[in-house]
Structure 1
Amino acid sequence: MTTTLLPPRPELPGPGRRTAARTRLTLSALVACWAATRAVMLLLLARDDSHPLGVGGIAREVHALYFHWFGVLAEGGFPLDDPLWQYPPAAGPVLLAPALLPWLSYFQAFVALAVLADAAVACALALAGRRQGRSLAGAAFWVGGLPLLLHIPLARYDLHVTALAVLALLCLARRPRTAGVLAALGALVKVWPALTLLGAPRGRGTRASWGAGIAAAGALLLVLAAAFDHAFAFLRQQGGRGVQIESLGGTALALARHAGWPGRVEYRFGAMEFTGPQVSAVAHASLFATVLGCAALLLWRVRAQRWTEATPFDAALCAVLLFTVTSRVISPQYVIWLLGLAAVCLTSRATSQRPAAFLVTAAAAVTTLGYPLLYADVMAVTWTGTLVVLVRNALLVGAVLLSWRGLWRSTVSAAAREKP
């Protein structure tokens, strides 16, 4: 009988051991921070009906609206002639997913899946941050940044969508086809994850990710159209949206109201919106700004010459910031998207988005002031409510400008400087 002796494992040199020890300590701290902050978020959600913070009722959307849609979807059709149903068809399976946990109530199962999505994002960012040349700053940003929105993320399905977008971005370099499929799934839930493919490297990366995304989107649409009635009913509800009080256009109208404009605030299409003269013009201006943002992104894609590992991350954050700021609706849960994308950027030491990520964090904190803490003032268009929304939107506009400048300099200006 022969015994095979394995060679001893080489010991890491002193600096290597210290680095590994620091990494383990950082990961342990992140796990502890995640557990503590999510426990607080769950406690706030459990006490939501007692209005411990502001207007309360954050969980009502899951209890009432999502559960109602769950009943409609379970019968084999998407909501028809429902002005609140404004989402692409893959949102249906997300809202049906709590049925996978039949021992829990719909609300409990929905929150459990939201927590799992949050944990998946944190784990994916931590794994990406441990790679050679990467950083755990992205995981820390997500773990510490999401609780700034209090318990809102646990009562919205934007966490699920953000998880798909984050995973798509992190897969893009090594598995572009997988990234394309994940981006397509996210886009068929809430559209914006399609922007995660904007910065795919030219050539094989773009062809593989975009091709897989288009194929996956087409296949899933066919499956959903065959499995459910009225799969495209959401399209007819989009055109009626007005100007939400928390949007950039809403801020302009709020300031105009303090100057004597006679408009009012009404509950329409699932949000508090301004009604009155010139509202339609403001809504059209927002749409035009979105078109200009799209044109700017196309210009960047054509002009960009220098690609780094961070470029796809930076482009995704810049694109989603542009479309968020120019939207007629800037709901508090939109900030979840921005936090997730900014966290992905910070996993790379080459990112140009650190200043924008800082402003996104500040915007998340101010968003909580606007909703739910001072939402009564925001709805009443008091000076307090108006100024809170103004500050939040100013931070987002600043984030857009810094994000665009960083993206352009790192991919266009830097390439021009490098040419002989």
Structure 2
Amino acid sequence: MLWLLAHNNERLLGHGAVAREVWRLYFHWYGVLTQGAFPAHDTLWQYPPGAGAVLLAPGLVPGLSYFQAFVALTLATDALITAALVRAGTRPGRSLLGAGVWTGALPLLLHLPLARYDVAVTAFAVLSLLAVGRATRACGALAALGALVKIWPALVLLGVERGRTTRRTWAWATVTGAVALTAFLLSFRNPLAFLRQQGGRGVQVESLGGTALSLARHAGWPGTTRYRYGAMELVGPHVHAVATASLALTAAAFALLLLWRVRARHWTEATPYDAALCAVLLFTVTSRVISPQYLIWLLGLAAVCLTSRHTTQRPVAVLIVTATALSAVAYPTFYAEVVHGTWTGCLLMLARNGLLATAAVLSLLRLWRSTRRPATATRVSPNPGSPLRRPLASASPASLNGDRG
């Protein structure tokens, strides 16, 4: 990945566009942030205030340029994630498959992960999930800090088992989030300016809606692409309707996840991991934007799932890894084809997004089935002639052996 980053000016690697995000855009924002303000009037700034802390961090590294320090910190964060996955995988009853998937699949995105701050965001989510059940305070605090950097890490708390664990985890998340947000409000001007820019975003060419509109071009749709809000978006008739439909699908996905949580009856050690991956998958595929760096999030969560032998998400992880490889083909290699909506670009996006949509549906189905109420056992009366039957509360061996009354 470092070698590719050093040669990122090559045509197949995007003519330098991948690295340009750091040394031009991030560095520009760094200059604004050092003045004690967020870039309130910059339409490209669409991130919560915690992102400012991540972008300021490279300036604290002595002896390196901003770009070099950013890459060095990203590599260090990658190493932290790997170490956490290895440690989790070596515990009794666990698996090192998660660490293997993270290590082997992340380079499928070429050098992109080293030039985006999504590895840092993913670290918050991964560490939060791995702390579930062992350190509830750390779990809630890390999820809240991650949400302040890029919103979606808040979803990792969705699958925490009901009861005391949920109360403590969510309470720590609330307190940590409130304290950190207050610190940003007191230390910087315009920390909530990102909300205005997020509301104005349209349909990106790489989203599901964008794929549908790109295909519609070949049927006579007169729309075009335009660079807006930091992405190539489609403009033309019916784009607003597609964007509205995407938001409606996101709301429906959230409702489904809430319904799952209300109806879930059976938790395993892997349930919080599986629920986090399912939630982020659903929100990703229904989004108006599916940038290639979003696959970093999914790879991290899939890796956490695979540290447990009880996960239901193994086939989902296979689909995510395959979609990751296709994402790298689409961006940066054939991005011009995607932007111009050629058949090559359309088919690439159709395949990538089809895999992600399939993974989301499969993930929800497997999560739902795994958390239904366990089948009850029927206990036969000691008297063979008696018709009485008493259902047991659990079909587990422990309950069968522990209730001989």
Scaled by the length of structure 1, the TM-score of the pair is 0.89
Scaled by the length of structure 2, the TM-score of the pair is 0.92
2:13 and 2:62 map into 1 onto residues whose CA distance is 31
Range with greater deviation from structure 2 (146-155 or 50-59)? 50-59
Which residue of 100, 111, 136 maps to 2:60?
100
Residue 256 (structure 1) shift: 0.7
Residue 306 (structure 1) shift: 0.1
The amino acid that maps onto 2:363 is S
Matches of residues 211-230 of structure 1 in structure 2 within 5 Å? 211-230=171-190
1:223 and 1:96 map into 2 onto residues whose CA distance is 15
Match of 1:374 in 2: 334
Deviations 1:261-288 (A, max 9, x none): 0000110000000000000000000000
The amino acid that maps onto 1:298 is L
1:114 and 1:294 map into 2 onto residues whose CA distance is 31
Specify the SS of the correspondent of 1:262: coil
Matches of residues 173-212 of structure 1 in structure 2 within 5 Å? 173-212=133-172
**C-alpha contact (below 8 Å) 2:278/2:363 kept by paired residues:** yes
**C-alpha contact (below 8 Å) 2:50/2:148 kept by paired residues:** yes
Which residue of 286, 289, 312 maps to 1:326?
286
Match of 2:226 in 1: 266
2:365 and 2:101 map into 1 onto residues whose CA distance is 22
Specify the SS of the correspondent of 1:272: strand
Residue 167 (structure 1) shift: 0.1
2:160 and 2:14 map into 1 onto residues whose CA distance is 42
Match of 2:382 in 1: none
Residue 51 (structure 1) shift: 3.2
Match of 1:338 in 2: 298
The amino acid that maps onto 2:147 is A
Residue 101 (structure 1) shift: 0.7
Deviations 1:61-81 (A, max 9, x none): 001100000000001010111
Match of 1:59 in 2: 19
Residue 53 (structure 1) shift: 2.5
The amino acid that maps onto 2:375 is R
Tell whether 2:318 aligns with 1:358: yes
1:205 and 1:138 map into 2 onto residues whose CA distance is 24
Match of 1:48 in 2: 8
Tell whether 2:204 aligns with 1:244: yes
The amino acid that maps onto 2:47 is Y
Match of 2:343 in 1: 383
Match of 2:110 in 1: 150
Residue 416 (structure 1) shift: 4.7
2:352 and 2:188 map into 1 onto residues whose CA distance is 39
**C-alpha contact (below 8 Å) 1:177/1:209 kept by paired residues:** yes
Identity rate, percent: 63
Match of 1:295 in 2: 255
Which residue of 10, 22, 36 maps to 1:76?
36
Deviations 1:102-151 (A, max 9, x none): 21000000000000111111100000000000000000010001001000
Backbone CA RMSD of aligned residues: 0.9
Which residue of 232, 237, 259 maps to 2:192?
232
1:221 and 1:231 map into 2 onto residues whose CA distance is 9
**C-alpha contact (below 8 Å) 2:12/2:333 kept by paired residues:** no
**C-alpha contact (below 8 Å) 2:95/2:307 kept by paired residues:** yes
Residue 177 (structure 1) shift: 1.0
The amino acid that maps onto 1:246 is E
**C-alpha contact (below 8 Å) 1:55/1:373 kept by paired residues:** no
The amino acid that maps onto 2:225 is V
Which residue of 165, 180, 186 maps to 2:125?
165
The structure where helix makes up a greater share of residues is 1
Match of 2:402 in 1: none
1:167 and 1:235 map into 2 onto residues whose CA distance is 27
Specify the SS of the correspondent of 2:9: helix
